[in-house]
A = this chain, B = another copy of it.
Amino acid sequence: VQPERPVVTLEHVALAAGVSRATASRVLAGTGPASAEARRRVQEAAARLGYVADPVARALVNGGGTRMVVAVVGSTSAILTDPYLARVVSTAAGVADADGLGVSVQWLPLADPTPALDRLARDRSVGGVVLVNTTRPLLDALPRPLSGRTVSIGVGSPAVPAVDVDNGHGARLVVEHLLRTGRRRVALITGPPWLPCADRPVAAYRAAVRGAGLPERVLPGDFGAATGGVRTIEALTRWPDTDAVFALGDAAALGALGALRRSGRRVPDDVAVAGFDDIPAAEHSGPALTTATHPVELIAAAAARSALRPTGDGQTWFGSELVVRQSA
């Protein structure tokens, strides 16, 4: 039972304005010439009738698709419930709405993303793709038809523009803060090893620490709180004089906080903890987390916009700022 739907088509507007459909279309779509008089009458009629162009018909004829898909790479589909991803999708959905487009989310299996990518390339409803957590091999294997309307949040490639936070700079700010406040043995808990956009902050950490003549202590993480806790204990076992833990990702840092609390260490007295991203929860942990900002909404909006209308920019990095709270 299809409920009755309003039927105000271009035809009606044209009729009411006393012009042809073509003229009405030109006026309303803003393409092509039209006399001032015609323009006025069409607009008046459209407004009076409450005409809204059907994005579907429009999409059919000019082939721009009807949706943008946010495709996220991960080892399991559990990545789909990630809060960070949710913010990206939600922001993209707000941007796409302005064009009458929708947004979908899909999981791209890290192990074998090709079938999913091919399906995306074939699907003519897909107007643009925003890749999240991409790897270089995946970018290089991107089906031809997708290039030009795909943008990556994270690492880019010659064919795929990238948008991201300047996490190299953000990480440097955090490490410098740690050193400035007297920390001398800083351990770093990284993101997943396969994720290339998490390499920049690691490099920044190494440079800063080495530059100060201090030891590099790097442990692989996965952005998760549980792993953050485990690696923290590991660091303190392996290097008992560790006086600061810097986790890439606030969730991991919160995990570190929990592990330290359980093991009887005082934060920041015994060991300082810093995170990255400034998620909402960072403000409310005990103690509140020192971290660096990650303007997810800005990044997602920029990515969504350029997936829909390619800009030609190869690389866009948004700034990251230090947020000093209690934990470090």
Task: State the A residues within 8 Å of B (CB).
Answer: 1-6, 8, 50-52, 54-57, 59-60, 63, 65-70, 80-81, 83, 85-87, 89-91, 93-94, 96-97, 100-106, 118-119, 121-125, 144-149, 225, 251, 254-255, 257-258, 261, 279-281, 283-287, 297
Contacts and interface: CB of A to CB of B under 8 A. Distances in A.
Contact of A122 (B6, B89, B96): B6
Among A50, A97, A257, A261, which residue has the most Cβ atoms of chain B within 10 A?
Answer: A97
B90 A86 contact: yes
A103 B100 contact: no
Contact of A285 (B63, B101, B251, B285): B285
Contacts of A57: 60
Contacts of A145: 3-6
A143 B33 CA distance: 36
Contacts of A50: 118, 122
Contact of A89 (B63, B89, B106): B89
Contacts of A125: 54-56, 66, 100, 102
Given A52-B119, A102-B125, 18 more contacts: A3-B144, A5-B124, A6-B122, A54-B125, A56-B56, A60-B60, A66-B67, A67-B101, A86-B87, A90-B105, A94-B104, A94-B106, A96-B104, A97-B105, A100-B123, A279-B281, A281-B285, A285-B285
Tally of this chain's copies: 2
A104 B105 contact: no
A93 B70 contact: yes
Contacts of A261: 286
A8 B94 CA distance: 31
A59 B69 contact: no
Contacts of A66: 55-56, 59, 66-67, 102, 125
11 contacts: A3-B148, A54-B60, A55-B66, A56-B60, A96-B104, A97-B106, A101-B102, A254-B281, A258-B284, A281-B285, A286-B287
Contacts of A286: 257, 261, 285-287
Nearest to A102: B102
B105 A94 contact: yes
Contacts of A90: 80-81, 85-86, 89-90, 105
Contacts of A83: 83, 86-87, 280
